[in-house]
Amino acid sequence: MDNGSLRDLEVFVAIAEEGNLTGAARRLDRSLQAVSRSLQVLEREAGTLLVARTTRQCRLTTPGEQFYARVKQVLADLAMARAELAEYATTVSGRLRICGPTLFGPRYIAPLLAAFLARYPQLTASLDLSEEYDDPATSGADVTIRIGETPDSNLVARRLGTIRRVTFASPAYLEARGRPLRPADLKQHDCVVRSALPEASLWRYRSKRGVEEAVQVRGRFESNSTAAINEAVVSGLGIGRAAYWQIGELVQQRRVELILTDYELSPLPLQALWLPTRRLPARTRLFVEFLAARLESVAL
């Protein structure tokens, strides 16, 4: 596989995950023309349409969805292979300082950090978890794992994955208040919101036809704790939105139900952030590559 072919595959994955060519170009720091050209090359080689385009968005065709699943795994395997090769040429030591989200950290970062430390016996690490954003400029962290857009354009960002978000409620709440069928129905319901986030009460949806809709929600309970919000929804205090990985087990246990499944909440990027530096320490660079390779194939 030459560099051109690899770039074309990276462009295709970015288009699939961003939902449009402009977002893919921004994510890869490439021109819109270059992104469009890469997609055309892939579709010409495939002999079929991979992406259905409109003026505002792109959606994968059935062949495109199948191709995306294969390509994503290929790129994940390649990233892992590169990370493993780099280990042979690098002696890693010192202390690695990491900041991350409170719920995501124990479930995903900590196990991967343990595996990373097992590879490098001379390396030590600390993992600080918080509900709030830890600015790398003041936290002293070598790398910060963040769910959401980069708040500081001066930081270096490496995308690790995409977080799928869903709307959910308890069976008891739905039985008592009814099931909303479209986003506008949320105005007649109690919603549980994250108090620390800007525009926390403005929920944005997109229909399968690509129509976007923003709804101002209200409710009787809010919190700056994701765990508290999810528990409040389970208890029947209202409708919530969350990353699917946070509530997937609750869905399987039938303690909550997914609603508005015909409407998509905008997904959130999972990113590794660090301060710009001329020479990134090997321990930081290898850990970020390790995370990217391992999380690439994880359904978030």
What was the pLDDT predicted at 298? 73
Per-residue pLDDT, 170: 97
Q: Which residue has the tokens 């101002």?
A: 216
Domain for residue 194, yes or no?
Answer: yes
Would you say residue 83 lies in a domain?
A: no
**Domain end residue (candidates: 78, 104, 137):** 78
Closest CA to 218 of 192, 196, 236: 192
110 and 170 together in one domain: no
- Domain containing residue 29: 3-78
- Residue 280's pLDDT is 78
What are 161-181's pLDDT values in tens digits?
Answer: 889 999 999 999 999 999 999
CATH number for the domain that contains residue 43: 1.10.10.10
Does the residue 72 lie in any domain? yes
Residue 182 lies in a domain: yes
- Kindly state whether residues 279 and 157 are assigned to the same domain: yes
Q: Among 47, 78, 109, which residue terminates a domain?
A: 78
Does residue 252 share a domain with residue 170? yes
Q: Looking at residue 247, what is its pLDDT?
A: 93
The candidate with the shortest Cα–Cα distance to 118, out of 281, 273, 287, is 287
Distances in whole angstroms, Cα of residue 159 to Cα of each of 150, 187, 231: 10, 34, 29
Q: Are residues 159 and 177 in the same domain?
A: no
Same domain (yes/no): 158, 274:
yes
Please report whether residue 84 resides in a domain. Answer: no
Tell me what pLDDT residue 131 has. Answer: 79
Task: Round to whole Å and give the CA distance between 3 and 140.
Answer: 36
Domain final residue, candidates 14, 47, 78: 78
Residue 85: inside a domain: no
Q: Are residues 112 and 101 in the same domain?
A: yes
Q: How many helices and strands in the chain, by DSSP H and E?
A: 11, 15
* Same domain (yes/no): 159, 275: yes
Give yes or no: residues 51 and 20 share one domain.
Answer: yes
User: For the residues of 226-243, what is the DSSP string, one character each?
Assistant: HHHHHHHHHTTS-BEEEE
pLDDT tens, position by position, 103-131: 999 999 999 999 999 989 999 999 999 87
Q: Looking at the structure, tell me whether residues 137 and 67 fall in a common domain.
A: no
Note the pTM of the prediction, 2 decimals. Answer: 0.67
Decide if 187 is inside a domain.
Answer: yes
Tell me how far apart the alpha carbons of residues 59 and 117 are, in angstroms, rounded to a whole number: 40
Q: Domain count of the chain?
A: 3
Tell me how far apart the alpha carbons of residues 75 and 293 are, in angstroms, rounded to a whole number. Answer: 8
The answer to whether residues 262 and 169 belong to one domain is yes
Query: For the domain that residue 209 is a member of, what is the CATH number?
Result: 3.40.190.290
CATH number (domain holding residue 276): 3.40.190.10
Clarify whether residues 170 and 228 are in a common domain. yes
Q: Do 193 and 231 lie in a common domain?
A: yes
Rounded alpha-carbon distances, angstroms, from residue 233 to 163, 173, 192, 267: 20, 9, 7, 20
Q: Would you write out the chain's pLDDT as a tens digit for each of its 300 residues? A: 455 588 899 999 999 988 889 888 888 889 999 999 999 999 999 999 999 987 678 889 999 999 999 998 888 888 877 776 765 556 788 899 999 999 999 999 999 999 999 989 999 999 999 877 767 777 888 999 998 887 767 888 899 988 999 999 999 999 999 999 999 999 999 999 988 676 788 999 999 888 899 999 999 999 988 899 999 999 999 999 999 999 999 999 999 999 999 999 988 899 999 988 767 788 998 999 999 988 877 767
Q: Is residue 300 part of a domain?
A: no
